[in-house]
Amino acid sequence: MIKPVAHPLYGLLSVAALLMSGCAGVSQKASPGNPTTLATASCSAPAPNLRAAYNRSYQIHGRLYHPLQSAAGYNVRGLASWYGWESGSKTSMGTPFRPRAYTAASRDLPLPICARVTNLSNGRSIVVLVNDRGPFVDGRSMDLSYGAASALGMTRQGTAAVQIVALAPSSITPTGANSSEPSPSMHTQEIQGPTQTYLQTGAFKALNHATAERNHLISAGFRDVLIVPGLVKGQQFYKVQVGPLPDGIAAVQAVAAMKKMGFHDFYPVEQ
């Protein structure tokens, strides 16, 4: 899909230079032994309603899962991945999926529940609202929203080794409640900010194809290249995107710059 570039990339256009220069992210730095907490009071959830459908045993891809009846003492080290924009999709609880909120999916934690997640590679720590089921990939313990993954500094890598600690409920579900509707008191922090523009070069069903596309762009000089998992008409795809574009630079200018550099078959997306 991406054509080889026969000429040097650097110094062609200011737009191209800005695309390659990298974008500012979360500036906090910490060592794994001294985690920096980026969000401490960002999550509020009632005690999980164990009678709700999303807390009962369920089957995915022929495998049976049994959610925990209690998250007391839940302290797990594992691999976390993240999922991106899935317009109009809903969580297992029936609430809209908000990619910029600090939320997560777990196969076995009772829903909803707050959990502290620490990126073991850089020590960053946030509190997320676990309100969805997944990931259903062997070897992975949690799926994080884009907002949570960005705060933890793991969007470029796609996965990260994390520590997951379940927190006590902030309120109690009334005795005898059996409705599957989530409590209106649920709350989680959402990243605020303007819509950002990216250049999407493709959407692939196979992760290895998306990785090859990303590596090709990086070898050409682009540093901010993301693989964004998401659903397209109900099917899992991996989108490869460059950006976000620098402030004040119109997407059409960036498109023109990339075309002059020999890149084609891409288009701007906002999220």
Domain membership of residue 3 (yes or no) is: no
| 130 shares its domain with 212 | no
Work out the number of other CB atoms within 10 angstroms of the CB of residue 178: 9
* pLDDT on residue 171: 42
| 101 shares its domain with 171 | yes
In the chain, the amino acid numbered 7 is H
| 230 shares its domain with 133 | no
* pLDDT on residue 8: 31
| 180 shares its domain with 59 | yes
DSSP of 197-209, one letter per residue?
EEEEEEEESSHHH
| 55 shares its domain with 142 | yes
| 104 shares its domain with 40 | yes
Domain membership of residue 31 (yes or no) is: no
Q: Which pLDDT band, with edges at 50, 70 and 90, does 99 fall under?
A: confident
CA distance 189 to 127: 9
Domain membership of residue 86 (yes or no) is: yes
State which of 149, 166, 188 marks the end of a domain: 188
Contact present, 205 and 237 (Cβ < 8 Å): yes
Number of domains in the chain: 2
pLDDT tens-digit series, residues 11-61: 333 444 545 444 333 334 444 455 555 544 468 888 999 999 999 999 988
User: For residue 221, what is the domain's CATH number?
Assistant: 3.30.70.1070
Span 153-182, mean pLDDT? Answer: 69
* pLDDT on residue 251: 64
CA distance 97 to 76: 24
Strand runs (DSSP E) across 98-186, as ranges?
Answer: 103-105, 113-119, 124-132, 142-145, 159-166
User: For residue 144, what is the domain's CATH number?
Assistant: 2.40.40.10
| 46 shares its domain with 151 | yes
State which of 154, 188, 222 marks the end of a domain: 188
| 184 shares its domain with 198 | no
| Exposure class string for 195-224: b at 16+ Cβ within 10 A, else e | eebbbbbbbbeeeeebeebbebbeebebeb
| 46 shares its domain with 167 | yes
Element of type H or E holding 160: strand 159-166
Would the pLDDT of 269 be above 60? yes
pLDDT tens-digit series, residues 187-239: 665 555 556 778 888 888 888 898 888 888 888 777 778 888 776 666 778 88
Domain membership of residue 42 (yes or no) is: yes
* pLDDT on residue 42: 63
CA distance 103 to 136: 17
* pLDDT on residue 15: 43
Q: Is 101 exposed, middle or buried (0-12, 13-18, 19+ CB in 10 A)?
A: buried
Domain membership of residue 98 (yes or no) is: yes
* pLDDT on residue 32: 47
CA distance 155 to 83: 9
Work out the number of other CB atoms within 10 angstroms of the CB of residue 269: 16
| 108 shares its domain with 174 | yes
What does pLDDT average to over the chain?
A: 75
Q: Which pLDDT band, with edges at 50, 70 and 90, does 248 fall under?
A: low
Beta bridge partners of 64: 59
State which of 157, 188, 219 marks the end of a domain: 188
Domain of 172 in residue numbering reads as: 36-188
Lowest mean pLDDT segment, chosen from 79-88, 92-101, 107-116: 79-88
Domain membership of residue 136 (yes or no) is: yes
